[in-house]
Chain A
Amino acid sequence: MSDGSVLEFEHVSHAFEGGLEVLHDISLAIMPGEIFCLLGPSGCGKTTTLRLAAGLEECQKGRVLMNGTVVSDGHLHVPPEKRGVGLVFQDTALFPHLTVAENVGFGLGALSESARRARIHEMLQQVKMDGYSDAYPHVLSGGQQQRVALARALAPDPRLILLDEPFSGLDAQTRSMIREEMLAVLKAHGVTALVVTHDPEEAMYVADRIAVMNRGRIEQVGRPADLYCHPLNPFVTRFFSSTNRFTTRVSGGKANTPFGPVAAPAGAAEGEIVEVLIRPEAIRIAAASRTGGMLGPIEAKVLDSRMLRRAVFMNLCIGEFEGAHLHVHVRSPGHDFPAGGERVSVSLDPRQTFVFKAQG
């Protein structure tokens, strides 16, 4: 048991009716004031984890603790209404028959009428929705509904707030705005939050720490920068961005690449096949890469190049490598870029190159 954690999972496994296992031996601890993100593709078990935390699912195997007290362990189960958690959904789940103010006041049954009104007002002010007290949910926009849902969840002052894909229902522009506002509100309250999302950028933006999940298991837990710069396995590497991938052999303790040798994973034997993953921004056109630590340069032919908003995207063909032409995708900042058919020299940033033992 970790000391002082707000929410802790100890070796939790969970199966749906019919035996399908959705969580396998999950352990994690969330500290006070922390914004913790569960990140993974759909069906990885992140929402089930959140529902276990809320008490909406009963823990079958392992234990769930809140503030050091067991709330669910297969025998005992503290129901959601006794846990003091707040919950925000993608679909907001506002009560359609109640006004904005009544929705926010829904969980404030214990307060006196005047204290309640004050609290509702305070919450609506924080999410910039004062002035909508008497409106019904259906007249609000998606972003406004989401703010009310957050105010409703925060109003009873929960120990822990759970957010299930809170921004995915919104269009791109509203999303970044609401995301920033909600983050500010959460931080202002100093509330501990567990956020579920499938969007790596969103997770990196809001989270203090991220747990990457895949097929009911936690692949890696860490700060956003750790996960991006030091991924432990190919899944985590590829979940944060597309990568150029090829296999190669270990020779002389290094993994061979067209740009030169890079460090092989610890314990890889001589001649063993390893998997190399290179982020598109790790390959740079030579002119722009006078900095130290780069591998190369080598010559490549531009097959195709196009301007995206903040970067140039190129499709390059790098000469022969292990008996075949190697195609790589390159993303480089700036506005000048070579046309298709030109020959350029490129170099590689080994810090954004990841080598893993080949699996299977």
Chain B
Amino acid sequence: MATLIAIPVVVVLLHVFVPTGDVWRHLASTVLPSYIGNSLWLMLGVGAGTLVIGVGTAWLVTMCRFPGRGIFEWALLLPMAVPAYVIAYTYTGLLDYAGPVQESLRALFGWGRGDYWFPEIRSLGGAVVMLVLVLYPYVYLLSRAAFLEQSVCVLEVSRTLGRTPLRAFISVALPLARPAIATGVALALMETLNDFGTVQYFAVDTFTTGIFRTWYGLGETAAAAQLAAVLMLFIFALVLAERFSRGGGRVHHTSPRYRELPGYRLKGARKALATLACLTPVALGFLLPACALGYWSWLTAPDVIDAGFMALAFNSFVLATVAAALALAVAVAIAYAQRLRPSRLIGAAARLSAMGYAVPGAVVAVGVLIPFAWADTAINDLARRLFGAGPGLILSGTIVAVTFAYVVRFLAVSLNTVEASLAKITPHMDDAARTLGLRPRQALVRVHLPIMGGSLLTAALLVFVDVMKELPATLILRPFNFDTLAIRTYQLASDERLAESSSAALAIVLVGIIPVILLSLAIARSRPGTGSGKETGRP
């Protein structure tokens, strides 16, 4: 089963060896350099931006005391709920020539067209800003978790050795948290490479848009797959870099003692600065876009929300539910296979199948479509020979293909959750249940299910939300005339009907808040030693 999940990635990688001749040479000489250049600039900008904002806010919230800290602790995660393409559409609506910002500027100063300079939002720089605003929570989340795990004793020792709080942060806390920070940045960069909606809308040519265009515009399957393969090289480089940074300096916590964090009390201007530093990303990444979407949605809802809209919502819901259930089932099967018969082969297969999350949706889509189309042709040929008529496309271009792609892409999300929760049931608990008279299956029902129930639900929910937000794979694989909320948002925005797209976008954002809530609850519980309520400063 794990092998089946790995098929799309393998198919794409194999296409490196398929000769495509002219088309590829054409691509290589014309667009490839700009794809690579744009992707690198995006990664550089997003990497630097998420690093500074993510680590900075995490440190402030974890180690300092200032007004609003308790709220920022979880509010800083909110931008995660907003898909990059939604924030891109929203800011375009706000900031382009006809948007409210420029209009009020013109009204205020009596400027006309061309009288003034205003930054162009639909640009490479704009794309970087958009991606940073929604992706910094990855870095925030992981570095905050790392700071919380650090023993205060280590920090206190460095203080007694003559370090100021800031120097202690730079020379002790930061290096200790480095593996976590690297992982956070790597995740943000993977999401950057995965992004399709933003760069497509901003006309910044990257691999994802290239794959889409080569596939649909030129109809060149093999060339698209080869672009996907090159993109995969970027991803592999990221995965390796992340592994390397983790393995190179494995950090062990030398002191097992945990105590209340120091909580430096900030005063005066510093206090205000800290609040502002945390407020800015939340406001720009969530509050402002959410308000804008809410306002537009309120204006256009009567026209937009009709039977058609409900059908879209229903499609999204069904797809996400089916994919979540499947991903959960596969994850449970793999996790139990590993527990019952731990072997290197199964372990490797599990890791390979969980790679999907690192693989951009567009790549997964290409990797799914090629073997499915081949299988369809084979089935139809066979059927025609046997019955004189073929059943048509039964795999590609149907719900099957989309669902399969979702499972491939999001299996890691469910697998990680299921594995973590299964690990909480020690083998000794199994043994105890057996000696108390339970057969293995009874032990599963009476011990495993009650303990894991909540986590299984969480795993399914996380996949559900990810599927709701997913754009590129859906766009490539969906059956003809089968639309979802994400697709409708994309289509309306592409037609410059931003206000009308807002209802669908808002629905996606609202659903996206669910995992943010789950995450902040998990974090509040995570710190050993002190009670979470005390530590977060909330009752």
Instruction: List chain A positions with a Cβ less than 8 A from chain B.
Output: 51, 54-56, 79-81, 83, 85-87, 89, 91, 93, 95-98, 106-107, 109-110, 152-153, 156, 158, 162
| Set A87, A97, A109: member contacting B435, Cβ < 8 A | A87
Please give, as numbers and ranges, the residues of chain A lying within 8 Å of B436 by CB-CB distance: 81, 86, 106-107, 152-153, 156
How far apart are B436's CB and chain A's nearest CB, in angstroms?
3
Would A56 and B434 be within 8 Å (CB), given that A81-B439, A96-B451 are in contact?
A: yes
Q: Which of B144-152, B203-211, B407-415, B425-433 contacts A (4 or more CB under 8 A)?
A: B425-433
Residues of A near B114 (CB, < 8 A) are none
A9 to B437, CA, bound (A): 23
The 4 closest A-B pairs by CB, nearest first: A107-B436, A93-B428, A80-B434, A87-B435
Task: Judge whether B428 and A89 touch: CB under 8 Å.
Answer: yes
A48–B416 Cα distance when bound, in Å, is 31
**Contacts A106-B436, A107-B436 known; 10 new A-B pairs at CB < 8 A:** A80-B435, A93-B426, A93-B428, A93-B429, A93-B432, A97-B451, A107-B437, A153-B432, A156-B437, A162-B435
Q: Check B438 for interface membership: any CB of A closer than 8 A.
A: yes
Contacts of A83 in B (CB 8 A): 435
**B433 proximity list for chain A (CB < 8 A):** 95, 106
How far apart are the CA atoms of A55 and B432 in the complex, in Å? 12
Q: Contact check, A95 vs B428: say whether CB atoms are below 8 A apart.
A: no
Q: Report whether B431 and A56 are in contact in the complex, using a CB–CB cutoff of 8 Å.
A: yes
B451 / chain A contacts, CB cutoff of 8 Å: 95-97
B230 CB–A CB distance under 8 Å: no
Q: Taking the complex as formed, is B450 at the interface, i.e. its CB lies under 8 A from any CB of chain A?
A: yes
B447 within 8 A of A: yes
Residue from B428, B429, B432 having most chain A Cβ neighbours under 10 A: B432
Closest to B450 in A: A97
Number of A-B contacts (CB under 8 A): 64
CB pair B447–A95 under 8 Å, yes or no, is yes
B439 touching A87, Cβ below 8 Å = no
Residues of B within 8 A of A80 (CB): 431, 434-435
User: What A residues does B424 contact at CB under 8 A?
Assistant: 96
Residue of B nearest to A107 (CB): B436
Given A93-B426, A95-B447, A96-B451, residue A87 in contact with residue B431 (CB < 8 A): yes
- CA–CA, A5 and B438, complex, Å: 26
Q: B432 — which chain A residues lie within 8 A by C-beta?
A: 87, 89, 93, 95, 152-153
For B437, the chain A residues whose CB sits under 8 A away are 81, 107, 109-110, 156
* Residues of B contacting A96 in the complex (Cβ-Cβ under 8 angstroms): 424, 451
Q: Which residues of B contact A95 (CB under 8 A)?
A: 429, 432-433, 447, 451
A92 (CB) vs chain B CBs: closest residue: B428
A80 closest partner in B (C-beta): B434
Q: Which of A89, A91, A156 has the most CB of B within 10 A?
A: A89
In the complex, A170 Cα to B374 Cα: how many Å? 63
Q: How far is the CA of A97 from the CA of B450 in the complex (A)?
A: 7
Complex contacts, A106 vs chain B, CB 8 Å: 433, 436, 446
Are the C-beta atoms of B438 and A81 separated by less than 8 Å? yes
- For A107, the chain B residues whose CB sits under 8 A away are 435-437
Query: Closest CB-CB distance, A221 to chain B, in whole Å?
Result: 25
List 27 A–B pairs whose Cβ atoms lie within 8 Å, in order of A's numbering: A51-B431, A54-B434, A55-B434, A56-B431, A56-B434, A79-B439, A80-B434, A80-B435, A81-B436, A81-B437, A81-B438, A81-B439, A83-B435, A86-B435, A93-B431, A93-B432, A95-B451, A97-B451, A106-B433, A106-B436, A107-B435, A107-B437, A152-B436, A153-B435, A156-B436, A156-B437, A162-B435
